[in-house]
Amino acid sequence: MIPLQLGPVVLANRVFVAPMAGVTDRPSRRLCRALGAGHAVSEMVTSRRDLWDSLKTSRRANHEGEPGTIAVQIAGTDAAMMAEAAAYNIDRGAQLIDINMGCPAKKVCNKWAGSALMQNEPLALEIAEAVVAVCAPRDVPVTLKWSRSAPRAMCPSRSRCAQAGATRTGTPWRWRAGSRPRASRC
């Protein structure tokens, strides 16, 4: 398989395990890597500092003994809090930060995070810039997941996020009930 380089990080191959709450916990990521995945991203970690000490978040942020590149997905709607969450996770061993801009889960979208960010281009770009500003000096690449149903008008912000230093690595393969999968229009 062909390796993939994201900044200073070289992944063994292009087989990715997407972050999924309740699924991609540490044992699952270890198993996926043992079965050949080149990259496995953690479950989503909130950008809310008041929740970092909760059992749920502390388990998601624990990568002790994990092989391969430590990749953490962060979610939120405030650029400063997202930047702080990136630094928090880097301090705990993250070697790659993924910004959640593709999750269709109602509990995420109802807070205007995840794929709901696709409806606010300036905020999506502000978050990408803030996270990259924290990660770049530490040589930690930033990736994004985009909603497959993002409006065509959002395509320019995708390129702007890339110009800010973020790398688009994929599209999540999960949709809300009642919607149907479709090819990206960008």
Active centre residues (catalytic) = 103
CA distance 108 to 115: 8
* Token representation of residue 133: 């500003």
User: What is the enclosing helix (H) or strand (E) of 101?
Assistant: strand 96-101
Q: What are the residues whose beta carbons fall under 8 Å from the beta carbon of 91, sequence distance 6 or more?
A: none
Cβ atoms of residues 14 and 167 within 8 Å: no
